[in-house]
Each structure stands twice: as C-alpha cells, then as structure tokens.
Amino acid sequence: MDLNPHLGSQATDGLTEDSWAQKEYNIPPQTAAGEIEVKEAKDIVQTAQTGCIYCTILCIVLNQMYPGWEVESFLRIFVASGLPVVVRLLFGKTVTVERYETPGYVLPAGQIMDLSMDLTDPEKPPVEIEIYRPGFSADRGSVSESVALVLDQLNDRFGPAFGRRPDANDDVCRSFIKRQVDHCIAHHPACSSGVTKPLLPDRVIWLKAPTQDGLQLVEQKDARADYVTLSYCWGPMSPNIYLTNVSTLASRKHEMRFNDLPPLFQDVVNIARRHGIDFLWIDRLCIIQGPGGDFEIQAPKMGEIYGSSTLTIAAASASSENGSYPEANGEIVGPLYSGLETRWRRENQGGDYGKVSKRAWIWQERLLLARTVFYTPAALKFECRCSSLWEGADPAHVGHSWSMRLDDKAHLSWTKLVEDFSARDITYASDRLPAIEAVMRRIAKRTNWGPVYGMWKESLIETLAWQPAQKQDEFAQAMPGDFAPTWSWTSIDGPISYQTVHAQKGALYDADPFVYHLKLLRADPKTGELIVEGKLVPAAVRMRQELGDSEQRTIYEIGNNKDSVNWVKITADTHLRPYLGRFLHGETTPATQHLPAAEAAPSHGWTSTCYCLLIGVGQSRCEVLILGLSSRSLNSFERLGIIGSIPATVFDNRPVEQFVLI
C-alpha cells in the first residue's frame, strides 16, 4: 500500500476519489487527495509483514494508540498532498450486498448496483489519528542515500503540522486566539459590520462593574462595545438552576457574584477578561426565562447577537453549564520514523466538536456568528466567516468556514443543511423554527428566495420529498397544534432525510431525468397553506403489527382499496390513526390523520382511507405524497407520509386538479 494521493488505485481496497480535503482545507481543487478504504484492519498487519513501510508505520501507531485495534475493525485513511495523513479507525465491519435491488427502483438496461454498508459498534466511537511532520524536514546529514530516499518519500506522504499545547488556557493558546481575532478584524470585511464596535445586545453582563466581583447585568441602549458570546449545552432543568427570570432579574441587575455562577460561566468570564473584553452575553442570563420572560422577543435577535459579537466561545467538551473548559489537549505521541509524530482523539472528543456540536442552536450560531473559538479536548479551533484553523495546524492550510456553506446558492445545499440541523438536539422542539429562521433571513437577503416554514418557495415542490430518518421501528412525533403545516419537515420532531432529492444528481440520472408533475400555484408564508395542481388518486391505508427481532413492529401500508391483495409499505411521517366525521363535498367519509403527540398509538390493526398525490416520475422511481383529509379545514389535505414505489401508470387516467395542503 502507498499513501501517495496521486495514485488512482491501491493494492489494498483502493484509493477512491474524494473531495474531503477541498471541503475541509482551503487548498486548490486540483490538489491530489483521496480516501483509502481498508475493509479489514488486519490486512494492514499482513501487508506490513511483507515489508511495506507505510503499513509498518500504521501498525506501530495503532499499536501504541489502541492495542487490539486489528480485531473487528476497519480503516479509512485520508491522504492529501501537503497535509497530515488522517487514519480513522472504526469498530465493526463493512458488508457488501452484490446486485442489490429495492422495490420501485429500476436501473437502466445493463446496469447493476452493489450496496456497501459500514456496520459500526455504537458503544465504541471511532478513533482519529493524525500522522504528520512537526513543522520541519527530517535531518538527513548523517544518513545513507538509501535511507535518504525513504525519508524523502515519508516527507512527501506526511504533511507538516505543529504540536498542540497541553493547556488550552495558557499564554500560547491565548496568543493563538488573539492573533486569529486580530487578523480577522483587520483582513476580513465579511466578518465585520463596517463599524468600529458592535452594538451591544439589549441585556449584557458587565465584567468591570462597580460591584464586589465586578459583575452586573446591565441594559444598555444603543451602546457600542466589544462583547463575547457563549455557545454551550443547557443542562437538565431543575429548581436550583442558575438563570435570569422575572423573580431574579432585579438582583442580577444589582449585582452578580462570581462564586454563584456555574463552572462553565466562571470560565468564560475569565477568558473574556484575559482578552480585555468588558461585556459578555449568555442566553440563560441575558434573556428573561420562563413565564413573563422575553424569549419570544429576544429569539429573533439571536442571529444578530451572535453575528455581531467580537468572539464566541464554544464549550465543545462541556455537556452542560456545570462542566468546564478542558485543560488537556489531544495526546501527542512520537517521534516515530524520521521525527514523524502522531496525535489522536476519539471522534466524539474533537473532530465532532464534542456534545455542543449536536445542538440545533449551535447550527444557527455557527452559520451566523462572526468569530468562534472551539475549546475541544483535542485542541482549540478558530473559525470565522472566511476561514478556520486548528491550533497546531500548518498555517499554509487554512480551512474553510462552516458559514461559507450559506454562500452556496444551490437549493440542494439547503437540503443538506436541513438534514444536519434536524438531526441535532434541542431542549424544546418548538424552538426549531426560531433556530432556523435567522439563517433563512440571511440567505433570503442575499438570494431573494422566499422562506416558507423551513423551506424555500422557489424549490418547494422538489423539497416536499423529505422523509423521516428515524431508526427502524421508531416514529417521529407530530408537533402539537398548528405549529407548522404538515407538508413541512418542521411539523415533526425528529431527523429527516432528502435522500431521494440527492439521488436525482449524478451521471446515473443524467440519462433519466426526474420530471415533476406537481405544480405550485400559491404558498402562504403566514398560514402555511399551499395550493397545488396535480393528479390525486384515492387509496386505502392500513396499520398492522408484525413480530420484529424482540417486539411487535408497526407497519403502515397502502393498497387500491380495503380489499386489496397487494399492499405496499409507506414511510409514515408519524404514527397514524383513523377517524370519522370528516365531510368531503357534503358526505361523511373515513379518513386518516397524524396521531397527536400526547396520544398512544392504536394497538390493534385498522384500515382507512388516504390519497396519493403525484410529485414526479423518473425511470427509477415515482415519488408520491400520502395525504389524509384535514380535520382542521374543509376540503383540505394534510400530509401523512411518502412512498417511492408506486407504478406511475396508476395516475395515467387521472385529471389534473387543484388541491389545498395545510
């Protein structure tokens, strides 16, 4: 095996073309980069025994880092010219299903499809290891020509980096932060508002107040000054939790005591003071929480608050305000051959920015904020709207910024952002729309797109094809009341997928374009009412139970009518239930609707009525929305789910009509 990114294939399982380096690092698109897939880690041991120097290095590193690594594991090795080699050790196995077929997907003549799946152990998070040269070339002064040749190859394969400091709060790390902030302010107009100082939020913590500990909650009007914001995970709510509400507001405005603050808040106070910044904004303290509070007023301003702050401190390793910033960074082990060094971290400790990265609110914060420093157990990472840089990384390879994703004007890019956002944790499901609306306002300002409940009017028909991404045998919950229209992904509490939309791209579908048959006539951004034109077919829907691996499994299926012999499984957005009493054109008819959030799912099977609305057709599939008559609005429909395996011929003789979706 060779770690040469210029090679098109490898003796192991092959070097696949991959744009990971272009996505993560600011390097030219033509820079050689790729991913080596090793389906069984033990293969590296066997290849090392034949004398492969690269496999030998990998074995030495993995033996040091994780003894027993070669058992029940597989590898992904990322290589790019001028960058450290990144080895990703995953625990589990890779399974390939040859000639994979699935109902509703018809491949072009002569084509076959193999499905490869990574089956990983959820109890063992992946381990990432970087192998790099520590910022200098190997000493060749006293080596033979043959050894020098090997050193040249090593230097070419393993890019440079710098050892990370052991303490994230020492002078070197503070200097790293200050250097990045100063450079950003001086050279990145996109990260600044064009004025010298930002406008302070309505309520901030003054860090030089004339009080015993120098802390006071103040309400400044039209004042400008540098301020720090904190991004963190809320811990469990309890009666003794430290926050600002109607009853504590007066005392906070009089004085705040340092020792009363949770450990994480104490840390960020100290960090802000060390950087000479006098004001701090923390949502739990600067927004009045609970009854009589002002969250509904302040939530729409949060995008501007984070976007205008001088610096955001992200507590990437703390699980709540009772945690703390890490003192120890990623472990550095070395030297190896010719001064090569390694550093490692578990995926959930550094590369994924810890627990904070799983929050829905930080999705908004990272896209909108001007500058952030992430305190992870592996290292500090600075990120602004223009670039990003890990502490200890080679300055020649400055990374892309997360918020640069907003500059991509393709609607497909928005669907990927939504998938990411919907999978994140949020304390209150009702906060999902406020958390995403600030991001949509920024995009709308630049593109003139029309936001409609987490989707865009300009691509609404295309993006109606979302589906829940719950684990098998699990169902999302419907949001209570009229929180959002049922056709929007914001109407359910849980992750969603746009897999079918993404599948429309690529060479396979260039020869088989997907044709949309549904037309949008009107979308009301306030009420969420859609008027569409398309073909609708009545059908029967049933719920049945079947025995799964350990318990009963709920299955939802549709057929031509209640007496159908052939039933096809659908992807229901939530649990469903039948109901009576809905009037359609003056007649009472059976109908189907979402199960309310507080209601238990029926334990016995049932059959009712639903409707199939054609979205579009391609040779490989026919995308159809499953609808039910609305119990809220006469002659309107609500979305129940989606299916991609109905024959398009079902709609051949149906007229094109107008329908209302709510």
pLDDT tens per residue, range 176-197: 899 999 999 888 888 876 667 8
Predicted pLDDT at 517:
96
pLDDT-derived band at 355 (thresholds 50, 70, 90) equals very low
3-state SS class at 371: strand
CA dist., res. 329 & res. 612, Å (int): 55
pLDDT tens per residue, range 106-132: 666 777 777 777 788 877 888 888 888
H or E element that contains 468: strand 467-468
Name, of 27-31, 255-259, 431-435, the range with top average pLDDT: 255-259
Predicted pLDDT at 271:
92
Lowest-pLDDT range of 22-26, 282-286, 350-354: 350-354
Res. 609: pLDDT tops 90 = yes
Name, of 58-62, 328-332, 524-528, 609-613, the range with top average pLDDT: 609-613
Pull the structure tokens for residue 324: 């703390």
Mean pLDDT of the chain: 81
CB burial string 556-588: b at 16+ within 10 A, e below: bbbbeeeeeeebeebbbbbbbbbeeebeeeeee
pLDDT-derived band at 97 (thresholds 50, 70, 90) equals confident
Predicted pLDDT at 637:
95
Name, of 12-21, 213-222, 542-551, the range with top average pLDDT: 213-222
Predicted pLDDT at 14:
40
Predicted pLDDT at 140:
45
Res. 630: pLDDT tops 70 = yes
553 and 510 Cβ atoms separated by less than 8 Å: no
Res. 314: pLDDT tops 70 = yes
Name, of 207-221, 424-438, 589-603, the range with top average pLDDT: 207-221
**Residue 479: which region, alpha, beta or left (left: phi > 0; alpha: psi -120 to 50)?**
beta
pLDDT-derived band at 619 (thresholds 50, 70, 90) equals confident
pLDDT, mean of residues 189-213: 90
Lowest-pLDDT range of 29-38, 159-168, 643-652: 159-168
Res. 643: pLDDT tops 90 = yes
Predicted pLDDT at 139:
46
Give the closest residue to 126 by CA, choosing from 172, 185, 69, 180.
Answer: 69
Verdict on whether the full-model pTM lies above 0.85: no
Predicted pLDDT at 585:
64
Lowest-pLDDT range of 69-78, 284-293, 519-528, 531-540: 69-78
CA dist., res. 74 & res. 40, Å (int): 5
Lowest-pLDDT range of 125-139, 222-236, 519-533: 125-139
pLDDT-derived band at 537 (thresholds 50, 70, 90) equals very high
CA dist., res. 488 & res. 502, Å (int): 18
Pick the residue with more confidence: 301 or 249? Answer: 249
pLDDT tens per residue, range 270-284: 999 999 999 999 999
Res. 506: pLDDT tops 60 = no
pLDDT, mean of residues 78-82: 82
Q: What whole-number percentage of the chain has pLDDT above 70?
A: 77
Res. 250: pLDDT tops 70 = yes
Predicted pLDDT at 138:
43
pLDDT-derived band at 142 (thresholds 50, 70, 90) equals very low
CA dist., res. 35 & res. 1, Å (int): 13
Res. 163: pLDDT tops 50 = yes
pLDDT-derived band at 572 (thresholds 50, 70, 90) equals very high
Res. 358: pLDDT tops 60 = no
Looking at residue 433, what DSSP letter applies?
H
CB burial string 331-352: b at 16+ within 10 A, e below: ebebebbbbbbbbbbbebbbbb
- Residue whose entry in the numeric block shows the structure tokens 């040859």: 98
621 and 644 Cβ atoms separated by less than 8 Å: yes
Predicted pLDDT at 37:
86
Predicted pLDDT at 153:
60
Predicted pLDDT at 276:
94
Lowest-pLDDT range of 160-169, 197-206, 409-418, 597-606: 160-169
pLDDT, mean of residues 534-553: 88
Lowest-pLDDT range of 55-69, 139-153, 321-335, 433-447: 139-153
Note if the bond before 335 is cis, omega within 30 degrees: yes
Pick the residue with more confidence: 394 or 270? Answer: 270
Beta strands per DSSP E along 505-562: 515-516, 519-523, 530-534, 536-547, 552-559
- Residue whose entry in the numeric block shows the structure tokens 């031509």: 560
Pick the residue with more confidence: 378 or 264? Answer: 264
Pick the residue with more confidence: 513 or 361? Answer: 513
Instruction: Calculate the alpha carbon distances from 189 to 185, 194, 388, 445 in Å.
Output: 7, 7, 15, 18
Pick the residue with more confidence: 167 or 40? Answer: 40
Predicted pLDDT at 8:
46
Pull the structure tokens for residue 530: 């859609």
Pick the residue with more confidence: 532 or 635? Answer: 532
CA dist., res. 341 & res. 334, Å (int): 5
Other beta carbons within 10 Å of 392: 23
Give the closest residue to 576 by CA, choosing from 494, 477, 482.
Answer: 477
Predicted pLDDT at 583:
60
368 and 303 Cβ atoms separated by less than 8 Å: yes
pLDDT, mean of residues 187-216: 91
Res. 588: pLDDT tops 70 = yes
